[in-house]
């Protein structure tokens, strides 16, 4: 498990009001068990089917920011695919269900937005608003200042992936 104590520290308050510190730092190596636990905590079953593949994808990303408690528990993650000139694609942004609503996702996304401020295109994909998590996701990204492609006179297209709408 590779993580650094240098980085941004975010105080958070779990339900018991015990103040914890969350440290956000770039990481380059990934433990399959803790990655599985994080992705499983948010119900990303398509990803957890082949966690070794997910870890390879993380290792091959432009940047991976991990959010960890002061005792080292992985509670959030954001990763980008980018040319670091024109385009930054936020491939994943997730926070363990137990830690959602405490500002971790906001801080991860803020760091990415700052890091890639020079890129013309800062893009991410999320579930449609009609899905169970859609309304909350859309509201979060709007609060963060992001807008849907069509609101910018743009469209996004993707190849249909069969069997991944679990």
CB neighbour list of residue 16: distance below 8 Å, 6 or more residues apart: none
- Evaluate the CA torsion angle 34, 38, 44, 45 in order and state its sign: positive
Distance between CA 18 and CA 80 in Å, rounded? Answer: 32
pLDDT category at 1 given cuts 50, 70, 90 is: very low
Q: Rounded mean pLDDT of the chain?
A: 88
Distance between CA 93 and CA 44 in Å, rounded? Answer: 12
Average pLDDT, integer, range 119-141 = 91
pLDDT tens, position by position, 80-119? 999 999 999 999 999 999 999 999 999 999 999 999 999 9
């Amino acid at each position: 498990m590779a993580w650094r104590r240098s980085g941004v520290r975010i105080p958070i308050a779990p339900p018991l009001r015990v103040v914890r510190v969350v440290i956000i730092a770039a990481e380059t190596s990934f433990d399959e068990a803790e990655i599985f636990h994080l992705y499983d905590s948010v119900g990303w079953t398509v990803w957890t089917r082949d966690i070794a593949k997910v870890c390879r994808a993380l290792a091959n990303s432009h940047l991976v920011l991990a959010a960890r408690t002061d005792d080292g528990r992985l509670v959030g993650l954001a990763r980008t695919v980018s040319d670091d000139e024109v385009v930054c694609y936020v491939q994943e942004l997730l926070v363990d269900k137990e830690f959602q609503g405490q500002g971790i996702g906001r801080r991860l996304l803020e760091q990415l937005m700052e890091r890639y401020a020079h890129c013309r295109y800062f893009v991410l994909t999320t579930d449609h608003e009609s899905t169970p998590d859609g309304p909350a996701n859309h509201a979060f990204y709007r609060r963060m200042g992001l807008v849907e492609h069509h609101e910018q006179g743009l469209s996004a297209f993707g190849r249909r992936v069969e069997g991944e709408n679990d």
